[in-house]
Amino acid sequence: MDKVKVFAPATVANVGSGFDVLGFAMEAPGDIIEMNKSDKEGINITEMISEKPLSTVTEENTAGMALLAMYRAKKIPFGVELKITKGVNPGSGTGSSAASAAGAVYALNQLLNDEDKFSDKELVDFAMDGEIVASGARHADNVGPCVMGGFTLVRQNEPLDIVAIPAPDELYVTVLHPEIEIKTSESRAILKKQIAMSDAVKQWGNVAGLVAGLFTNDYELIGRSMEDYIVVPTRSLLIPMFDIMKQNAMNNGALGFSISGSGPSVFALCKGKENAESVKKALIETIEKTELAYNIHISKVSSEGCKVID
């Protein structure tokens, strides 16, 4: 294979109580990465199609940094050229940096001979280097599900220990992205450096409950376990009408409601598409009371991560 076209899905990270350890893949939207082998050494980002300006300099781009990690790990006998079409808006809180990084390493892996291919876990590890560009830190809660699909649990970042978790068949998500930008690095800077032991204990219980709910198809347990005591109380202050949107979503069939990644996107997990549509309607009615532009999506929790497309 000399060229490949890859779809890399948007992701929701944290999932309420699971700050930096839980995430899941959506069916759409996603980035498109087109890559071909090149006689020219190294990594050449030839085109970046995005609503917001993004660098095509390898070391300043999430995809470029992730690919550099692959080249450092193994001698790859060819260079690559790639075109990135952003379907996940930068700064949206739905894994924009992860989609580019994960999609790029997945694409390069497709161009390698079978005996030289990397495992999914290794690809996640490489993609984590791309996250440094966006947030200043290596973290896998977005790149993990973007590569592997479904839900993933990051037990540990360094060294990486990541676990795939099954999702119930009827689990849907409604994601609303208000058109404001919250940079991951800035939203991390406002977090508390210390937390009360009582809050930590409640948080541990909810993370465990959320994982148990996913394994047992217990939708109500999933919803109860999404409540966050550490991150959301601070970050929600940056999102207009967060509390009202949460209340309206819960009143219209949401299992749980929280912030996607670092925001500003918010999301509701729902049992079934009908409930997801009801939540969508309620969120639209709420956000339209502001003057903000917005995008809204409904998706099943996708069992697929990055994939080759025509």
pLDDT classification of 54: cutoffs 50, 70, 90:
very high
Confidence of residue 232 (pLDDT cuts 50, 70, 90): very high
Question: What residues contact 10, with CB distance under 8 A and at least 6 apart?
Answer: 25, 26, 28, 29, 30, 87, 88, 94, 95, 96, 99, 175, 297
User: Which phi and psi (to 5°) does residue 16 adopt?
Assistant: 85, -100
Kindly state the average pLDDT of the residues 184-210.
89
Predicted pLDDT of residue 59: 95
Least confidently predicted of 56-65, 120-129, 134-143, 163-172: 134-143
Residue 48 has pLDDT above 80, yes or no: yes
pLDDT surpassing 80 at residue 73: yes
What is the H or E stretch that residue 215 is in? Answer: helix 197-216
Residue 173, pLDDT > 90, answer yes
Residue 247 pLDDT > 90, yes or no? yes
Q: Looking at residue 144, what is its pLDDT?
A: 98
309 three-class SS: coil
pLDDT at 140: 96
Q: Are 40 and 65 in contact (CB under 8 A)?
A: no
3-165+303-308, which class in CATH?
alpha beta
Mean pLDDT value across residues 35-42: 94
Task: Spell out the domain ranges in the chain.
Answer: 3-165+303-308, 171-300
> In this predicted model, which residue has the larger pLDDT, 52 or 185?
52
CATH of 171-300, one of 3.30.390.30, 1.20.1580.10, 3.30.360.10, 3.30.70.890: 3.30.70.890
What's the confidence (pLDDT) of residue 192? 83
Q: What per-residue confidence (pLDDT) applies to 248? A: 98
Task: State residue 280's pLDDT score.
Answer: 98
pLDDT category at 65 given cuts 50, 70, 90 is very high
Per-residue pLDDT tens over the stretch 294-305: 999 999 999 999
Query: From CA 300, how far away is CA 230, in angstroms rounded?
Result: 27
Q: What is the mean pLDDT of residues 118-134?
A: 96
Region 232-241 average pLDDT: 92
Distance CA 120, CA 303 (A): 14
pLDDT at 4: 98
pLDDT on residue 310: 84
**Active-site amino acid positions:** 131, 184
Percent of the chain clearing pLDDT 70 (strictly above): 99
Beta bridge partners of 307: 7
